[in-house]
Structure 1
Amino acid sequence: MKSPLVIDYYTDILCIWAWIAQRRIDELNNQLGDSIEIRYHYMDIFGDVENKMTHQWGKRGKYQGFAEHVKHAASPFDDAIVSDDIWQHVQPTTSANAHLYIKAVELAFDANVSSDFALDIRKAFYINTLDISNLKVLSALVVEHKLDLEAVQSKIETGQAMAALMNDYKSAKDLALKGSPSYIIDNGRQVLFGNVGFRVLLANVEERLKRPSNEASWC
């Protein structure tokens, strides 16, 4: 049986473009099924939110300006629901705590469970405007997801989840990824970045599926 095509998918949980891309990832899985394997990774874009808002959005309205940008970006996409109150009363300080919990869930259970949990976190922020940088909020989401909170927290307490997260962050830097979301197809043979339309994404993946990974370069 032919091995599935690996897509290493890097996002920051607070990135609006990753929230928009969620429907495309779901559809890619629906259409291509076992012929692909999406491996979920996380990167540091919103590790220090206050610093980001001050230096990148300070002259554009800071949180208010960024909130308008987020709502404008999501407005053409019916599946990327965004609350009118996004980034207003609730302003997460970092994405790192959410990433840490996602990696802990992955270690305690498996990658499928952690990807579902990551989606729950995105919904909690974009739809329900919960502070997903707050550890109590994240713990409550673990319980709501019907997962063993003690098993998840043990992966954090031992440092295993942090080590896994640091590995993701380092990999993103080593790959010189420009931002979130980034798609690394077939062990780096192709890299797609940003607001990539579904048809473009599907065409690139299907072309790689047709082409043997050991095909010789013409160069």
Structure 2
Amino acid sequence: MSTTSPIVIDVISDVMCPWCFIGKRRLEKALMMLPDSSVKVQWHPYQLDATLPKDGKDRKQYLEDKFGGPERAKEIYTHVRNTGAAENIDFQFEAIKKAPNTINSHRLIRWARSEDMQDAMVEELFKLYFIEGADLTDKKVLVDAAERAGINSKLVSDLLDTDQDVQEVEADVFRAHEIGVTGVPFFIIDGRFAVAGAETPETLAAAIRHAEETKTGE
């Protein structure tokens, strides 16, 4: 492409959202369709339920409260599981015991940006929650995840004991609502085009290509 700076893709997402995991896989496929494109992906926070206690909530109770009963929840998650399987995601919903408040997960993702390790951090959190059923409110789980993602785990451990960046994450979530985001994943491409939901790789690739073709010279 002729421009010197990459196309920035801002992904608004929550780590407890299975469609966001699916959306990540589809974005990866879209980028594989555009081998000559220069793209930078940035992850931003959203909370599907900011009212969850800091220590989370029993997932069975959470799903019953949210969907009105286990049968409706099972019906919805069967569709998600089948869609995930098509993206090589082996969702293990039965392994998840707790619906987490994701504020601390989003702090980790925020800190990973400074080390250009956001993708690795997001991937680790998705896998922990949806495949291993890990408790994302557990400090040790988060610190170990940061270490596996290549981030300074000692620093993460120290910061998690403080309120560092809690307000900043909450402000980012508020801004997402302000611009009209009501569901995730939500992709903002080059600050100009929006793609709502876990759209197909072809749709995402077309949107990125259009952003490239209409990008003004710098």
Task: Give me the TM-score of the superposition, normalised by structure 1.
Answer: 0.80
Aligned to 2:50: 47
Instruction: Give the secondary-structure state (helix, strand or coil) at the position aligned to 1:80.
Output: coil
Instruction: Give the secondary-structure state (helix, strand or coil) at the position aligned to 2:155.
Output: helix
- Mark the runs of 5 or more structure 2 residues left unpaired by the alignment: none
Aligned to 1:115: 119
Residue by residue over 1:71-120, the C-alpha shift from the partner in whole angstroms, topping out at 9 and shown as x without a partner, is: 42131324222015244xx123312221122223334xx2x312201111
184 and 146 in structure 1: CA distance in 2 versus 1, 3 angstrom threshold: closer
1:80 to 82, 86, 89: 89
Aligned to 1:25: 27
Residue by residue over 1:23-44, the C-alpha shift from the partner in whole angstroms, topping out at 9 and shown as x without a partner, is: 1222233343652221111111
**RCO comparison, higher one (Cα < 8 Å, 6+):** 2
Verify: 1:60 aligned to 2:53, yes or no: no
1:97 to 79, 84, 104: 104
Q: How well do the aligned residues superpose, as a CA RMSD in angstroms?
A: 2.6
| Count of residue pairs the alignment pairs up | 205
| Identity value in percent | 19
Letter of the 1:13 partner, please give it.
Answer: V
Aligned to 2:175: 171
**Does the 8 Å CA contact 1:104/1:160 hold for their aligned counterparts?**
no
CA–CA separation in structure 1 for the residues paired with 2:111 and 2:74? 29
CA–CA separation in structure 2 for the residues paired with 1:158 and 1:122? 24
CA–CA separation in structure 1 for the residues paired with 2:73 and 2:29? 28
- Mark the runs of 5 or more structure 1 residues left unpaired by the alignment: 215-219
Instruction: Give the secondary-structure state (helix, strand or coil) at the position aligned to 1:41.
Output: strand
Task: Give me the TM-score of the superposition, normalised by structure 2.
Answer: 0.80
68 and 130 in structure 1: CA distance in 2 versus 1, 3 angstrom threshold: farther
Instruction: Give the secondary-structure state (helix, strand or coil) at the position aligned to 1:32.
Output: coil
**Does the 8 Å CA contact 2:16/2:100 hold for their aligned counterparts?**
no
